[in-house]
Amino acid sequence: MAANTIAKVFPPKGDLVLEQYKAKHKDSITDPNGFWEKAAYEHLDWFEPFEEVLEGSFEHGDVRWFSGGQLNLSYNALDRQVRSEKANEIALVWEGDEPDDIRKLSYADLLRKVCQISNALTATGVKKGDVVTIYMPMIPELAMTMLACCRIGAIHSVVFAGFSAEALGQRISAAKSKFLITADIGKRGGKSIPLKKIVNDALTKGDCDEVCQHVFVWERFHKGSESEPTFEMGPKDIRMDPLVAVQRPYCPPARMDAEDSLFILYTSGSTGMPKGLLHSTGGYALYAKMTTQITFDLHPGDLFACVADCGWITGHTYVVYGPLLNGSTTFMFESTPVYPDEGRYWDMVQRHKITQFYTAPTAIRLLMRYGDLAPQKYDLSSLKVLGTVGEPINPEAWRWYYEVVGKSQCSIVDTYWQTETGGHVITNLPGVTPMKPGSCTLPFYGIDTVVLDPHTGKELTEPDDSGNFEGVMAIKQPWPGMARTCLGDHERYMTVYLKPYPGYYFTGDTVSRDSEGYHFIIGRMDDVINVSGHRIGTAEVESALVAHPAVAQAAVVGQPHDIKGQAICAFCMLTVGYEESPELVKELRMSVRTEIGAFCTPDLIVVTPSLPMTRSGKIMRRILRKIVCGETDSLGDTSTLADPSIVQTLIDKVTSLK
Ligand code: WTA
């Protein structure tokens, strides 16, 4: 791996600091109980102390943290700050789609509003343990609604507002969610997104109409309690703004057990049905708090900007919970990196004096394309730490981020983690860990990473010829932020994460670890592709294609893409009677948009007379992957195919389409 040879470009403050990290890390994994017990009391306020630190094991899938302890996340994120003299400090700065649409809320404002929302939900019958689906744009009310759910013990399930009615319906139905919270419209890049209309449509899918009983609607441009609704009211609809306005601005926080469910978040896996990963209150709160503070070297007065959407785990942990649990100021962003132009991020950094900025490699690659001028036009001197997440960052993009954006003065933190891990599991720490472009470097405290042999499942002990350990990325012991189960399907949780390599948590990624213990993530081992940092299950896209009557069979693979990292390439075998045409290809693209969402639209659709299948009927995706990557001289053994001649047909077809 070329990046391994790149010199350490950011020398640590002194080797001592790195040594201190190493010693502390070692302690954290040799005495996890001692480490996490101390951390839990230091970082969080508890209503009731816990009885045990860690119980259960990976083997049995019954891990639990801080049992018997009682706390409330919203109390820790809001009341705790208000009580420690932060009442008037800004908790949240929001910038809407238009750069002059700005709102600032203090901790006291946020607490009052969250309490009002909590009371509004309770008044409508939302109870502890109910699943509340949230389908909202990136407006402050989204963060407040999430916090209100935590306050009353309702389990939120945020569905990214880019998902289609079909996908939303599937998630409402799977979680048996009686309550849905949305907004009339969303705004992105100057366009309006009719969220309430999509919700209406979602409720016509499957058993959603039966399952979902109340739809709360925020109005994006609400004009006061006397105003007419901005949307057509249906029998289940409740206008959120007027309901919230009449509520008492205090609501006592629910006393939650540390292991009470906090939220679910759906994520793609190897099957067509996304998994609802369930996080617990105490462990998640602690892990979100600590990783935000330590990875980003947060200090009082910092303005922390994570530009992810709350529809993904990054938005949960690093827009909402982590920064607020630390009492710092979080920045919430509704728009895109290129609206109104490619200087948007840097303009925001200058205007708000952002100190930590956190984005994905795909955005960096996109902005890099426009050249150095945009970042050079703005004063970026407030920046201290630049974060990246979602996929491996190529060293070229890393360097641009480091040199052009950070002026070689900032640390780049390459944070490796997953929806399942709750927070960062491998990352460098600013000024502590020497950086290597393309490496997420060393594990966070309490994380015992191992590289396994994919065949034997044993930890690799001997490096390969280049001195690296390359294999399965796994974690050897539980950590507080880990998801505990898949909602309603613990067997699936066991099968996907804990059974593949007994005794270890299986990440689904492959890694190369160098002689200094630095991790370089290679990519997914399962049928998940990473498009612009979004995890997309190939099976989900395949079922969206097969939903079209013209498609008899589909096989989806990832193909390398300069900006997105990977793009979706779909091979479709048509039903007898259908002919290939540009219109049909357009319809198939549309089918994916309506079944899942526009962000999953395939870049390339290859209509083919058949697919490379084994004699037993299994599609050999390995061959398709090689064909789209142009690696046709290393196709491997094709003799087991039922019809080996299909390979050449596909090569010709793909070449003609590219
Ligand atoms: C990938 C996003 C390399 C990885 C927080 C993982 C990364 C998946 C990095 C999780 C990184 C995330 N370097 N790869 N710094 N961060 N990944 O659940 O494949 O949306 O398994 O969580 O993204 O994606 P998820």
Instruction: State the Cα–Cα distance between residues 280 and 422, nearest whole angstrom.
Output: 10
Residue 131: pLDDT above 90?
yes
Q: 533 C-alpha vs ligand 1 centroid, how far in Å? A: 7
pLDDT at 2 over 70: no
Q: Mean pLDDT over all residues of the chain?
A: 95
Angstrom distance (rounded) from CA 276 to CA 298: 31
Could you please report the per-residue DSSP string of 453-488?
A: -TTT-PBP-S--TTS-EEEEEEE-S--TTS--EETT
Q: Report the half-sphere exposure of 232 (CA within 13 A, side-chain side).
A: 5
Q: What is residue 11's predicted lDDT score, i.e. its pLDDT?
A: 47
Please state the atom number of ligand 1 nearest to the C-alpha of residue 393. 13
Q: CA dihedral in degrees (527, 532, 534, 535; nearest 10)?
A: 10
Across residues 132-139, what is the average pLDDT? 98
Cα separation, 500 vs 282, in Å, equals 27
Which residue's CA is minimally distant from atom 10 of ligand 1?
A: 418
d(CA 387, CA 195): 30
Amino acid at site 7: A
Whether 417 is in the pocket of ligand 1, judged by its Cβ within 6 Å, is: yes
Residue 14 — very low, low, confident or very high, per pLDDT cuts 50/70/90?
A: low
Atom index in ligand 1 nearest the CA of residue 415 equals 15
Chain centre to alpha carbon of residue 529? 14
pLDDT tens per residue across span 602-644: 999 999 999 999 888 888 899 999 999 999 988 888 888 889 8
- 149 Cα: distance to centroid of ligand 1 (angstroms): 27
**Rounded to whole angstroms, how far apart are CA atoms 278 and 422?**
10
Chain segment 391-410, per-residue pLDDT in tens: 999 999 999 999 999 999 99
Centre of ligand 1 from the C-alpha of residue 273, in Å: 20
Residue type, 510: T
Side chain identity, residue 18: L
For 580, phi then psi, to 5°, come to -70, 135
Residue 577 has a pLDDT of: 95
Report which residue type is found at 181. Answer: I
- Per DSSP, 443 falls in state B
Q: Does the beta carbon of 425 sit less than 6 angstroms from any atom of ligand 1? A: no
- pLDDT for res 222: 80
In the reported structure, the alpha carbon of residue 389 is separated from the centroid of ligand 1 by a whole-number distance in angstroms of 6
Residue 653, class by beta-carbon neighbours within 10 Å (0-12 exposed, 13-18 middle, 19+ buried)? middle
Is residue 390 lining ligand 1, measured as CB closer than 6 Å?
yes
Query: How far apart are the CA of 508 and the centre of ligand 1, in A?
Result: 10
Distance 434 CA to ligand 1 centre (A): 21
- For residue 103, the cross-strand partners are 94
- pLDDT of 13: 57
Q: Residue 178: which of 238, 232, 230, 119 has the closest Cα?
A: 238
Average pLDDT over every residue of 461-467: 94
Q: Comparing C-alpha atoms, which of 580, 550, 566, 573 is closest to residue 650?
A: 573
In the chain, % of residues over pLDDT 70: 98
What pLDDT, on a 0 to 100 scale, did the predictor assign at position 602?
97
ipTM of predicted complex = 1.00
Looking at residue 90, its pLDDT comes to: 98
- Count CA within 13 A, CB hemisphere, residue 439: 28
What's the residue count for the chain? 658
CB 594 within 8 A of CB 166: yes
Q: What is the pLDDT of residue 272?
A: 78
DSSP state of 497: I
Residue 533 three-state SS: coil
Ligand 1 atom at minimal distance to the Cα of residue 314: 5
Contact 259, 280 (CB under 8 A): yes
Ligand 1 pocket, 485 CB below 6 A? no
CA of 473 to the centre of ligand 1 (A): 12
Task: Summarize pLDDT for 222-254 with one digit per residue, the tens.
Answer: 877 778 999 999 999 999 999 999 999 999 999
State which of 391, 525, 531 you would mutate to test the pocket of ligand 1, scoring each by most atoms of that ligand within 8 A of its C-beta: 391
Ligand 1 lined by 412 (C-beta under 6 Å): no
Q: Is the CB of 524 under 6 A from ligand 1?
A: yes
Higher pLDDT, 447 or 268: 447
**296 Cβ inside 6 Å of ligand 1:** no
Above 70 in pLDDT, residue 213?
A: yes
| Interatomic CA distance for residues 529 and 556, integer angstroms | 9
User: Residue 312 above 90 pLDDT?
Assistant: yes
